[in-house]
Copies of this chain bind each other. A is one copy, B any other.
Amino acid sequence: MSNAASLSRLSLNQYTTRRWSVAQAIDGCARAGIPAIGLWRDLVAQTSLENSAKLARDAGVQVSSLCRGGMFPAATAEERRRHIEDNRRAIDEAAALNTNVLVLVCGGIPERDIVGARQMVADGIAEIIPYAAERGIRLGIEPLHPMFAADRSVITTLAEANELVEWLQSPQVGIIIDVYHVWWDPAVEKEIKRAHGHILGFHVNDWLVPPPDVLLGRGMMGDGVIELRRLRTAVETAGYDDFIEVEIFNQHIWDMPGDAVLELIKQRYLEYV
């Protein structure tokens, strides 16, 4: 396999180069020969939706996904309704950016009731499915590491995400597999297999030992303990052949020059993923 061919599924999640604008990140990908980018709504808003879409199109860089919808649970019905409206806007933005995947970070616990919060997630996704279907957007439920259960996602395992997909029974809904969140799970391979046909994204990075920070502790592929190739093989065996996004929240990497980060990503991707 030539170098170029083996980078054909690589995508830069733009939070990996957090200091770059959308324009800088898209230019960086084009320069580095990285064919796709995962965008974030807050950074897209800074550049404007229209400009972001045009920049990607003109550079020939595909938008592999948009982060993020979700955050369904809330203490009041009024707040939950506002979150649903925000998800509809996110779906519109995904459509405008020519991606067909909106990543869902489902939300935490509004009060001391994780079971109730999980029901709010299921209800919230059910409510936005028709709107997503009309616009051709698929909703990727991303289980987050259990350390984020309280404040970011009560959906913590692939098993839960798969159950939600099976319960919702819509071709619009699938899952996003980020190795950082699921690598530890003894059921990880079983649940990846179960997700056959509804895997909408695969994110890579690494788990550093010891983790330097709860939120910003992700490492570059190869710097930690995750068996990336084992998980990639499982995901491919389950039929996923779309983009592999590199998503790393790490202050040290954010402080590096963006082009150097992209070179390192390519090297590590070829070596470890």
Residue A157 is within 8 A (CB to CB) of chain B in the complex: yes
Is the pair B214, A112 in contact by a Cβ cutoff of 8 Å?
A: no
Residue A207 is within 8 A (CB to CB) of chain B in the complex: yes
Is the pair A112, B227 in contact by a Cβ cutoff of 8 Å?
A: yes
Residues of B within 8 A of A79 (CB): none
Is the pair A211, B214 in contact by a Cβ cutoff of 8 Å?
A: yes
Is the pair A225, B112 in contact by a Cβ cutoff of 8 Å?
A: yes
Give residues of chain A (197-220) contacting chain B, Cβ–Cβ below 8 Å. 207, 209-211, 213-215, 217
Is the pair A184, B214 in contact by a Cβ cutoff of 8 Å?
A: no
Residues of B within 8 A of A225 (CB): 109, 112, 114, 150
Is the pair B184, A114 in contact by a Cβ cutoff of 8 Å?
A: yes
Residue A55 is within 8 A (CB to CB) of chain B in the complex: no
Residue A185 is within 8 A (CB to CB) of chain B in the complex: yes
Among B150, B183, B217, the residue within 8 A (CB) of A209 is: B150
* A159 to B184 CA separation, bound complex (whole angstroms): 13
Is the pair A157, B186 in contact by a Cβ cutoff of 8 Å?
A: yes
Residue A151 is within 8 A (CB to CB) of chain B in the complex: yes
Is the pair B112, A211 in contact by a Cβ cutoff of 8 Å?
A: no
A150-B184, A214-B214 are known; give 7 further A-B pairs, CB within 8 A.
A114-B225, A118-B186, A146-B184, A147-B211, A149-B184, A150-B207, A157-B186
